[in-house]
Amino acid sequence: MERSKAFTLLGLSENATSDDITDALDQAVFKVRDQFLRGAVIPKLAASRVERCVLLSDVAQTLGVVALGAPATVPQTLPLGDTLEGVVRGHVENVRRCRTAMAGTLDPDSVAQLGHMMANLQSEYMKAFLKHTESLVEGDQHASVPAREE
């Protein structure tokens, strides 16, 4: 990545001090990390946030900036249960573990890795949830109701 592009992505001019660069990078990573920590995990949105973190990692490498906080370790995940309750409990615990690990770092590589993991966990959860609940709606087909009469 070119230095000028890296400065542009951080919203800085080329004569910015190293403290300004570090602060801007930390703020950018914090913003993405905060979205992962506070919001629902939507796989498509998570993919764009992960891509943003990868871009910020490239910026850090180009400008020679060390991220605030050590890289986070990837947490051990639990398997999803065999029952619907087990699926939900397992998913909640797995996302909690990812968010806990993510909360301790502003390293863009770690945030990207954990965000990608959360998106994959969410996709697996949605598939397992649908598998367990499809029998509940198979024979329960209703005629469509116009929106005005809903």
Read off the amino acid at residue 124.
E
Residue of 111, 120, 113, 112 lying closest to 43 (CA atoms):
120
Report which of 115, 33, 41, 116 is spatially closest to residue 67, judged by C-alpha positions.
Answer: 33
Q: Residue 121: its pLDDT value, please?
A: 94
What's the predicted TM-score (pTM) here?
0.81
pLDDT at 3: 85
Task: For the chain, 150 residues long, give each residue's pLDDT as a single digit of tens.
Answer: 888 888 888 888 888 888 888 899 999 999 999 999 998 899 999 999 999 999 999 998 888 888 777 788 888 988 888 888 999 999 999 999 999 999 988 899 999 999 999 999 999 999 999 888 887 766 556 677 788 876
CB atoms inside a 10 Å sphere around CB 104: 13
Residue 122 is encoded by which pair of tokens?
């969410």
Token output for 21: 């660069």
What are the tokens at 149? 């009469």
